[in-house]
């Protein structure tokens, strides 16, 4: 048999709206109204009860791979003959998609491959220069000194001797070209990413919160990934929704609000210290340029790879034609300007998860309106912050009421919640504002606050209780046929994100000020430090990992607890592995170039 040359999807339709008996075929079904359908766990066994209550012909979308000697028409005729003779005379097959494999690279893909090749060459040259010119002489000198001074010392003292030796060695200082080349060194960049040491004054619990929040994001996306390729989704998902523990997955949306809170807190905490050093002045160019440079080059490079090369990385009957981000061909510049969260045209939407980056950049641009008054005139700054906070609360409540948006995100594909609330900055800034003021308090107190034991316990209880209510409070709303009243849903939509920001802010404040106890110990675990440095790149690449797995499936999968566990663990591990590679290739070199060009000290993130 020849190689598989086509991947074809066919839609099987009923030609008459009569009662369906039993279809014993191992494929999934997608229906517009699931109430009248009984789905049994035997591959795909469907029995219709009331045909006239469902509009349109019921369809089953299947995919087959065939030898390249077969034409699309051949396969269609074979499938029709099979259905007619073995399943039902009322079923017919029509071609949905049929894409050839082994497609030659187009011009765009070739250009991207050249760019990647240049990055790889720079990384190899930078690493070689680093190891041969910078590190090797240092290692030899350390070996010579330690061997001459080391007589009989304990293992614990040996490391201290090496550290003392390093301080006595006059290191070679490369020029500007050498420093630019070193920005691409995999040895140096990898060492910085994996380093578990942090400077004085760093709020260590943020590492754990950042990593766990990113893991939560991946879990949420991983649970929705197999929806269209599972043979028992109609039975499995309702059963999962009945579990109250599953609400942590249903409401994984608030994990993003944790990042908004962290962003606002760290921005204020660090800018206030910078204002102290500069006598209340802000270096405006560097304030905005550093943020843009920190986020944009790796962001654009990942989009470049995703749009141009993803299509060539896999195959199968479910593989998407033309890639997964077709909207980037027309709408990439919206992402570059960080206004993509206002794009309504599906043909111009690019890189869906980047809505968060647009919001975060927009908040950052507006932040001096609060930061400077907060630093110079505290009450004025608080007043402006409260105006923003009250404004976002009222705006969200009014929009939610006007469009009758439910409290949960299960809006049956309507996407009103997504379009009107979820991606809009005027509805998402609440936790960012709360984080900003928490950062200001940490700055003013220098992370030194004594709290009465009982008061500390009471606040912790309130924060945990509020967080549990936000995550698990929608159980009845999701599982009941009667949703929450419009007014109650609007109240939840208006306040729950800000309330979540308050909970996260308290955790950080308590841990930073010595009132976190064992929670601070867990969140400050050193293993979280390198993982937290990879969260940005993990956010950018994790959907490519999920999509590659999803679209490369050659048959339907059967969902179960163990299946999901394996999938989630795999997605998390692969996402952070890919994040490490892309950080070495795209993120770290850009930060290194900035530090060389502007002579900035590169902070350990």
Please state which of the ranges 81-90, 272-281, 481-490 shows the lowest mean pLDDT.
81-90
Q: How many helices (H) and strands (E) does the chain have?
A: 26, 5
Q: In whole angstroms, how far apart are CA 254 and each of 83, 106, 386, 443?
A: 47, 40, 22, 26
* 536 is a domain residue: yes
H or E stretch at 459: helix 453-472
pLDDT for 489 equals 94
Task: Tell me 583's DSSP state.
Answer: I
Is 1 part of a structural domain of the chain?
no
pLDDT tens-digit series, residues 453-479: 999 999 999 999 999 999 999 999 888
Q: Out of 37-46, 322-331, 537-546, 577-586, pick the least confident.
A: 37-46
Tell me the average pLDDT of the chain.
84
Grade residue 79 by pLDDT with cuts at 50, 70 and 90.
confident
Q: How confident is the model at residue 136 (pLDDT cuts 50, 70, 90)?
A: confident
Same domain, 477 and 541: yes
Which of the two residues, 264 and 556, has the higher pLDDT score? Answer: 264
Q: Are residues 182 and 208 in the same domain?
A: no
| Cα atoms in the 13 Å half-sphere on the side-chain side of 304 | 18
Tokens 């000198």, located at residue = 141
Task: Confirm if 406 and 424 have CB atoms less than 8 A apart.
Answer: no
How do beta strands 4-14 and 91-100 pair? antiparallel
Average pLDDT over residues 21-34: 35
Q: Hey, what are 470's tokens?
A: 């936000």
Question: Considering only 85-89, 264-268, 285-289, 348-352, which range has the smallest mean pLDDT?
Answer: 85-89
Is the pLDDT at 91 greater than 60? The verdict is yes
pLDDT at residue 172, rounded to an integer: 67
- Structure confidence at residue 71 as a pLDDT band (50, 70, 90): confident
pLDDT at residue 382 greater than cutoff 80: yes
- Cα 569–537–245 angle (5° rounding)? 35
13 CB-contact burial (10 Å; exposed 0-12 / middle 13-18 / buried 19+)? middle
Neighbours of 341 (CB within 10 A): 21
Q: Which of 401, 552, 424 is nearest to 488 (CA)?
A: 401
The pLDDT value given to residue 168:
52
Same domain membership, residue 583 and residue 443: yes
Same domain, 376 and 467: yes
Residue 18 in this model has a pLDDT that exceeds 70: no
The residue from 161, 194, 227 where one domain ends is 194
Residue with tokens 């893909």: 109
Structure confidence at residue 20 (pLDDT): 34
Q: Show the tokens assigned to 288.
A: 């905005």
- Pick the more confident residue, 141 or 469: 469
CB contact at 8 A, 447 and 515: no
189 and 51 part of one domain: no
Tell me the average pLDDT across 269-295. 94
Same domain, 143 and 215: no
- Sorted by sequence, the CB contacts under 8 Å of residue 161 that are 6+ apart come out as 146, 149, 150, 153
List, as one string, the DSSP characters of 77-113.
HHHHHHHHHHT-TTEEEEEEEEEESSPPP-HHHHHHH
Give pLDDT, residue 344.
87
298 or 12, greater pLDDT: 298
Assess if residue 308 is contained within a domain.
Answer: yes
3-state SS, residue 64: strand
Smallest CA-to-CA distance from 348 within 365, 363, 367, 329 is with: 329
What is residue 1's three-state secondary structure?
coil
Instruction: Give the pLDDT confidence score for residue 488 in this predicted structure.
Output: 95
Least confident of 171-175, 197-201, 386-390: 171-175
Question: 517 — alpha (psi -120 to 50), left (phi > 0) or beta?
Answer: left
Into how many domains does the chain fold? 3
Read off the pLDDT of each residue in 394-404 and give the average, rounded to a whole number: 96
**Domain-embedded: residue 102:** no
Kindly state whether residue 2 falls inside one of the protein's structural domains.
no
pLDDT digits (tens, 9 = 90+) for 183-228: 999 999 999 999 998 888 889 999 999 999 999 999 999 988 888 7
Whether the per-residue pLDDT at 61 is higher than 80: the answer is: no
Residue 34's pLDDT is 35
- Identify the H or E element spanning 62: strand 59-67
Q: Which of 162, 194, 226 delimits the end of a domain?
A: 194
Instruction: Write down the pLDDT at residue 417.
Output: 86
* 502 and 450 fall within a common domain: yes
| 579 and 433 in a common domain | yes
Mean pLDDT of 516-533: 96
Whether 531 is covered by a domain: the verdict is: yes
Q: What domain range is 75 assigned to?
A: 11-27+35-97
C-alpha distances in Å from residue 439, one per residue of 34, 176, 198, 432: 48, 36, 19, 10
CA distances from 287 to 64, 254, 365, 367 (A): 54, 28, 9, 11
Pair 583, 484 in one domain: yes
Look at residues 168, 194, 220 and tell me which one is the last residue of a structural domain.
194
Q: For the chain, what is the radius of gyration of the CA atoms?
A: 28
pLDDT single digits (tens) 554-592:
888 899 999 999 999 999 999 999 999 999 999 999 999
Q: How far is 138 from 126, CA to CA, in rounded Å?
A: 17
Span of 58-62, 328-332, 371-375, 521-525 with lowest mean pLDDT: 58-62
Give the orientation angle of helix 535-551 with respect to helix 284-309, to 10 degrees.
20
- Is residue 80 domain-resident? yes
Higher pLDDT among residues 79 and 127, named by residue: 127
The reply to whether 41 and 156 lie within a common domain is no
In this structure, the answer to whether residues 257 and 160 fall within a common structural domain is no
Q: Tell me, yes or no, whether 241 lies in a domain.
A: yes
Kindly tell me if the per-residue pLDDT of 67 is higher than 80: no
Q: In terms of domains, do 157 and 225 share one?
A: no
Answer whether 547's CB lies under 8 Å from 224's CB.
no
pLDDT recorded at residue 46: 36
């Amino acid at each position: 048999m020849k190689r598989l040359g086509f991947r074809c999807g066919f839609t099987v339709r009923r030609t008459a709206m009569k009662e369906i008996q039993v279809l014993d075929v191992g494929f999934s079904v997608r229906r517009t109204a699931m109430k009248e359908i009984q789905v049994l766990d035997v591959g795909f066994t469907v029995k219709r009860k009331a045909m006239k209550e469902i509009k349109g012909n019921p369809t089953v979308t299947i995919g087959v791979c065939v030898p390249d000697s077969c034409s699309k028409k051949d396969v269609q005729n074979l499938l029709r003959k099979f259905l007619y003779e073995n399943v039902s005379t009322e079923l017919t097959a029509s071609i949905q998609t049929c894409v050839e494999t082994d497609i030659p690279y187009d011009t765009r893909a070739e250009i991207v491959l050249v760019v990647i090749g240049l990055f790889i060459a720079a990384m190899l040259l930078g690493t070689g220069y680093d190891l041969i010119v910078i590190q090797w002489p240092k290692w030899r000198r350390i070996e010579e000194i330690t061997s001459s001074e080391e007589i009989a010392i304990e293992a614990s003292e040996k490391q201290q001797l090496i550290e003392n030796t390093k301080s006595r060695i006059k290191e070679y200082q490369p020029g500007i070209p050498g420093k630019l080349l070193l920005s691409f060194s995999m040895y140096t960049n990898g060492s910085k990413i994996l380093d578990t040491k942090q400077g004085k004054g760093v709020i260590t619990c943020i590492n754990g919160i950042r990593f766990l929040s990113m893991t939560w994001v991946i879990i949420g996306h991983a649970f929705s990934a197999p929806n269209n390729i599972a043979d028992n989704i109609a039975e499995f998902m309702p059963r999962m929704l009945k579990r109250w523990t599953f609400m942590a997955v249903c409401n994984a949306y608030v994990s993003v609000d944790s990042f908004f809170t962290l962003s606002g807190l760290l921005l204020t905490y660090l800018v206030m210290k910078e204002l102290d050093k500069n006598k209340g002045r802000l270096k405006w160019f560097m304030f905005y340029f550093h943020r843009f440079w920190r986020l944009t080059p790796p962001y654009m490079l990942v989009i470049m790879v995703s749009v141009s090369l993803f299509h060539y990385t896999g195959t199968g009957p479910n593989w998407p034609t033309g890639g997964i981000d077709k909207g980037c061909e027309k709408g990439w510049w919206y992402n570059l300007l960080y206004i993509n969260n206002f794009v309504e045209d599906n043909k111009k939407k690019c890189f869906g998860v980047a809505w968060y980056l647009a919001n975060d950049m927009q908040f950052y641009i507006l932040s001096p309106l609060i930061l400077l008054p907060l630093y110079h005139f505290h009450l004025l700054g608080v007043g402006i912050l409260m105006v923003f906070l009250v404004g976002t609360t009222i705006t969200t409540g009014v929009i939610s009421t006007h469009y009758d948006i439910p409290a949960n995100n299960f809006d049956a594909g309507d996407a009103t919640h997504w379009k009107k609330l979820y991606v809009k900055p005027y509805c998402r800034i609440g936790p960012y504002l709360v984080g900003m003021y928490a950062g200001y308090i940490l700055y003013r107190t220098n992370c030194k606050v004594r709290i009465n034991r009982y008061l500390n316990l009471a606040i912790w209880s309130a924060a945990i209780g509020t967080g549990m209510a936000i995550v698990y409070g929608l159980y009845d709303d999701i599982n009941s046929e009667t949703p929450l009243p419009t007014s109650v849903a609007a109240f939840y939509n208006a306040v729950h994100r800000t309330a979540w920001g308050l909970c996260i802010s308290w955790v950080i404040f308590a841990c930073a000020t010595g009132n976190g106890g064992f929670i601070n110990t867990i969140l400050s675990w050193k293993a979280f430090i390198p993982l937290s440095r990879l969260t940005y790149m993990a956010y950018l690449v994790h959907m490519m990992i999920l999509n590659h797995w999803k679209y490369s499936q050659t048959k339907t999968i059967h969902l179960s607890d163990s299946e999901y566990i394996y999938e989630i663990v795999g997605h998390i591990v692969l996402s952070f592995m890919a994040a490490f590679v892309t950080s070495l290739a795209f993120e770290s070199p850009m930060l290194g170039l900035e530090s060389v060009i502007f002579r900035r000290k590169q902070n350990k993130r």
